[in-house]
Chains A and B, each alone.
Chain A
Amino acid sequence: MEGGSVSGSASALSNDENLVVSCEDSSSPVGNEQLELGLTLSLGRKGYPDCRVAYADDSSSSSSSSSLSRASVIAGIKQTADSMAATSGQVVGWPPIRTYRMNSMVVNQAKTLVSEDQNSEIRQEVNKNRTDATNMRNSMFVKVTMDGIPIGRKIDLNAHKCYESLSNTLEEMFLKPKTGLSTRETDGRMETPVKILPDGSSGLVLTYEDKEGDWMLVGDVPWGMFIGSVRRLRIMKTSEATGKAQMIL
C-alpha cells in the first residue's frame, strides 16, 4: 500500500532523532518562573558527627541507630571533590534550593541582623552555633573575578566567618596553579601574600561591589556588615584600584 510501509532506515533515523527531540517534561515548562527545587539532602556523612547530636533528641533509640548505621554506610561513600566544600566543611548542594533564592534569603536575614543590632557579628556567631548543631548552612554565592582572567568563579561567603579565611580561599582559587598536582609538589613559586593588604604589596587588591553599586575595599567594615551589602568581588590590580574615586585606600 503506497505510503503504508515504513522504511527501515527512515524510521531508525527519525526514532533516534525523536528520542532527542522528545516531548516536553512533565516538570514545570520553561515558561514558569522559579522552577525545580529538588530534594532534600541528608547528612549522615563522615566528618559530621554533629549529625548524631541532632538525633539525640529523638525519643526512640531505634531511629538513632538506624540513622547511625546509615551514617556509617554513607561515610564510606567518597566525598564530593569540591574544593569549596573541602575548605569550608560544608556539604555542596544542600539544602536543595536554587542559588538565586538562597542568596536573596541570606541578604534578607543579614539585613535584619545588621539593622537590629550593633553587634551583628556576635549575633551571627550565636546563630552559627545553633546552625552547627544541625549542620545546616545556607550558602551565599557571589561571583569573583580577577583582572586578567576571563572566567570568573563563585565563592560561598557564608562558608567564612572572617576576612582571613575568605582571603585564603581566594588565594587557593586564583593563585594556585591547577595542574592536578598535589600542593606538596608545587615548588612554592606561587607564594601568595594575603591579598587584602591595601598597601598593594602583592600587586593585587581585593574589592567588592556593594548594594549601591559602589566599589569598596574589602576589610574596612565589620564582617557582618560586609556580608549584608556585598554583591560581588573583584581582585583588581593595584594600579587600577588607585584610579577609582570611591576607593578608600
Chain B
Amino acid sequence: MNYFPDEVVEHVFDFVTSHKDRNAISLVCKSWYKIERYSRQKVFIGNCYATNPERLLRRFPCLKSLTLKGKPHFADFNLVPHEWGGFVQPWIEALARSRVGLEELRLKRMVVTDESLELLSRSFVNFKSLVLVSCEGFTTDGLASIAANCRHLRDLDLQENEIDDHRGQWLSCFPDTCTTLVTLNFACLEGETNLVALERLVARSPNLKSLKLNRAVPLDALARLMSCAPQMVDLGVGSYENDPDSESYLKLQAAIKKCTSLRSLSGFLEAAPHCLSAFHPICHNLTSLNLSYAAEIHGSHLIKLIQHCKKLQRLWILDSIGDKGLEVVASTCKELQELRVFPSDLVGGGNTAVTEEGLVAISAGCPKLHSILYFCQQMTNAALVTVAKNCPNFIRFRLCILEPNKPDHVTSQPLDEGFGAIVKACKNLRRLSLSGLLTDQVFLYIGMYANQLEMLSIAFAGDTDKGMLYVLNGCKKMKKLEIRDSPFGDTALLADVSKYETMRSLWMSSCEVTLSGCKRLAEKAPWLNVEIINETDNNRMEENGHEGRQKVDKLYLYRTVVGTRMDAPPFVWIL
C-alpha cells in the first residue's frame, strides 16, 4: 500500500464509507491521515460542542455533507430548557466564509433560525439536501429562502420540528425552473398549505420519490397529487377524512392503483375510522408502514390492512392494535425487522391494549426482528426470557412500561431477570432502554453481558452506586448514558474519570450527585465540559456554600476538544 501513489490510495478509500472505518484508517499513519482527510466528504458530529467549525474545516476542507446533533436526547421530553444551546448559526457562518462546497446538511435537536436558513440558501451553489429532525427556532419564512434560492434542491425533509407557520407562500417560492426535488416532507407544519402551488410543484418534479403532506392537505388534493406522481415510493398522507361514496374517494382509489412503486406509507394525521381499504391494492408491495398518528382508526381496520402487507419490514403502530392484532402481524409479516408500538391513550386506566403477550407473539413470529420500541401496560420476566430466546438478534431493545415502577405483574418481582435474559442472549445489542421495577442486579447483568452496548437509558432504577458502577466498568463500548431519578451519586460518578473520554456524553438528572462531586470531576478531567443545568438555583448554589453538598438537578457532561462553550445561557454553569 505504501508504494502506491496517493491517488490510488484515495481511490481505495472511496470504498470505505462508514465513519468508524474512516476514522480507523486515518490513524494508521501520517500519509493515510492526510489522504483520508482530503478525501472525506461526509462528516458526522454527534455532539456539536465536542468540536467547532474551525477545526472541522481545517481537517476536512473538502467536505460536502455535514451531520450535526445538538441537544441531549432527554431534551425530547422537556428535560432540557429551551435556551440551553445547540445553535447552528455559527456553523453555517463558518462554512459560508470558507467557501466549502456544502451539498448536504442534516441537523438533529438544534436551534435553527430563519437567518441561518437564509444564509445557508445563499452560500452554497450546489446545496442539495436539508434534513431537519426535532429542530426549532425557525418559521416558514426560512423555508421560503431555501425554496427560492437553492437551485438544485433535491431533499427538503422536515421531521417533527417546531416550525412557526406563518402561512406564507413558501411553497410558491420554488421557482418554476425547480424540477429536481426528490424528497419533500412538510408533515410537521401545522398551517394551511397552498394546494395549487403544491400540485404544480409535484407535477414538475419527475424525480419526486418521497412526499409527506401535512394535515392541511385534504383528500381530493391527495388524489390529484398521487395521479400526477405515480412514481411515488414513499407517501405521507396528510388528512384522510373521506366519504366512501364521494367522487374524490373514487379518484383516490384509481390513483392509488397506479402507484405501483409505493413502498412506504405514513401520515394519516387526521383520519376517518374507515376507508383504509383504498390502499389495499398496493399493500403487498409495502416495506414500511407508519400508522402511529392515526388515532381514530380502529384496531380492526388496522388489522385488515396489515393482513395484506406480507413484505413489511418496518411497522410503527398504536397499541390500539391490541395483542390480537400483534398476533396477526406475527403471522403475516415474516420480513419484519423493526417494530414500534406507541400508546394511544394516556388518559390512563382502561384498555390495556398491548401486554407482554403481544411482544412474545411478535418475537415468535418474526425471525428477522432486530429493533423494537414497545410501550405497554405490563410485563413479566417469563415473557422477556421467552423473547430473548426467540430473538437473539436484537440490536435495539426499548421497553416502556407505562405504569411507574411496575414489577412483574404475575410474580411481583423486579424485572431484573427478564432484562438480564435479553442482554445475555442478544450479543449484538447496541441500544437498551429499561423500565419497570429494577434493582442493582439488572445493572450487574448489563455490565457483564452487554458488550456491544452503546446507548443506555435509565429511569427510576437501581438501589445504590453499585448499579451505575457495574455499567461503567462493564460496558466497554458505552457511548451515551442517560440516567434520571435514580440513586446514583458521586462515588459512581468519580470512580473512573477516564471512562468519560471513551464516551460521547453522560446525562444525570434528579440523581444523588452533588456540586462538590461535579467540581472534583471537572478538576480531574479538563477535557470534559461538565455542565450543571439549574434553572432556578444556580445563583444560590455558590452562595450558600454547604461545602457543595447540595444535589445537582441536571448534570450533562461530554468530551470536547475545544473547551468550554461560549454560548451557554446563565442557568447553565460549566465547571
Contact = CB atoms under 8 A, between A and B. Distances in A.
Given A44-B460, A80-B509, A127-B347, A20 B435 contact: no
A220 interface: no
B290 A33 contact: yes
Contacts of B348: 130-131, 133-134, 136
Contact of A40 (B26, B73, B436): B436
Contact of A153 (B82, B190, B504, B536): B82
A23 interface: yes
Interface in B201-249: 212
A66 B106 CA distance: 46
B295 A108 contact: yes
B407 A21 contact: no
Interface string A14-30: 11111111111111101
B188 A100 contact: yes
B192 A213 contact: yes
B540 interface: yes
B437 interface: yes
A40 B404 CA distance: 7
Interface in B380-407: 395-396, 398, 400-407
B349 A83 contact: no
Nearest to A64: B412
A180 interface: yes
A152 to B, nearest CB: 8
A236 B71 CA distance: 31
> From DSSP, what is the main secondary structure of chain A's interface residues?
loop
Contact of A139 (B47, B78, B480, B510): B78
A20 B59 contact: no
Contact of A3 (B30, B340, B395): B30
B82 A35 contact: no
B459 A42 contact: yes
A41 B459 contact: yes
B160 A26 contact: no
A2 interface: yes
A164 interface: no
Nearest to A19: B559
Q: Which of A33, A99, A109 has the most CB of B within 10 A?
A: A33
A244 interface: no
B20 A23 contact: yes
Contacts of A62: 412
Interface stretch (A4-12, A187-195, A197-205): A4-12
B433 to A, nearest CB: 4
A116 interface: no
Contacts of B98: none
Contacts of A51: 404-405
Interface string B161-197: 0101001000000000000000001001011100000
Interface string A151-192: 101100000000000000000000000011000000000000
A6 B29 contact: yes
A21 B460 contact: no
A244 B391 CA distance: 61
Interface string B25-46: 0111111110000000001111
Contacts of A246: none
A10 B343 contact: no
Nearest to A136: B348
B454 interface: yes
Contacts of B509: 80
B344 A105 contact: yes
A30 B404 contact: no
A26 B458 contact: no
Interface in B53-111: 55-56, 59, 67, 69, 73-74, 76-79, 82-83, 106, 108
Contact of B412 (A35, A60, A104, A179): A60
Nearest to B132: A30
B484 interface: yes
Contacts of B162: 99-100, 143
Contacts of B534: 81
A77 B512 contact: yes
A22 B20 contact: yes
A80 B554 contact: yes
B567 interface: no
A93 interface: yes
Given A19-B501, A21-B45, A42 B405 contact: yes
A25 B455 contact: yes
Interface size class of A (residues with CB under 8 A): 35 or more
Contact of A27 (B266, B396, B405, B560): B396
Given A21-B43, A133-B349, A180-B540, A27 B431 contact: yes
Interface in B348-393: 348-350, 371, 373, 375
Given A51-B404, A74-B487, A136-B348, A81 B435 contact: no
B51 A20 contact: yes
A33 B512 CA distance: 35
A73 B488 CA distance: 11
A70 B405 contact: yes
A125 interface: no
Interface string B128-153: 00010110000000000000000000
B323 interface: no
B553 interface: yes
Contact of A77 (B79, B437, B487, B537): B487
A223 interface: no
Contacts of A81: 534-537, 553
B44 A93 contact: no
Contact of A30 (B27, B108, B454, B463): B108
Given A17-B55, A21-B45, A93-B74, A42 B463 contact: no
A37 B373 contact: yes
A104 B19 contact: no
B424 interface: no
A36 interface: yes
Nearest to A145: B164
B78 A41 contact: no
Nearest to A70: B405
Given A20-B561, A141-B78, A98 B403 contact: no
A92 B46 contact: no
A54 B404 CA distance: 9
Contacts of B69: 30
A249 interface: no
Q: Which of B134, B157, B270, B504 has the most CB of A within 10 A?
A: B134
A32 B234 CA distance: 12
B420 interface: no
A179 B340 CA distance: 44
28 contacts: A3-B2, A10-B30, A10-B33, A17-B561, A20-B50, A22-B23, A22-B504, A24-B18, A26-B395, A33-B159, A35-B133, A37-B373, A38-B459, A40-B400, A40-B436, A54-B404, A63-B407, A66-B412, A81-B535, A96-B400, A97-B77, A97-B343, A99-B77, A100-B188, A102-B346, A136-B346, A136-B403, A139-B78
Interface of A: 1-7, 10-11, 14-28, 30-45, 51, 54, 58-60, 62-63, 66-67, 70, 73-74, 77-83, 92-102, 104-105, 108-109, 112, 127, 130-131, 133-139, 141, 143, 151, 153-154, 179-180, 213, 231
3 nearest CB pairs, A to B: A42-B404, A26-B430, A23-B20
Given A17-B59, A38-B457, 17 more contacts: A3-B30, A4-B29, A19-B559, A28-B371, A37-B375, A39-B398, A39-B435, A42-B485, A78-B510, A92-B77, A92-B79, A101-B292, A102-B346, A104-B295, A105-B344, A108-B296, A130-B350
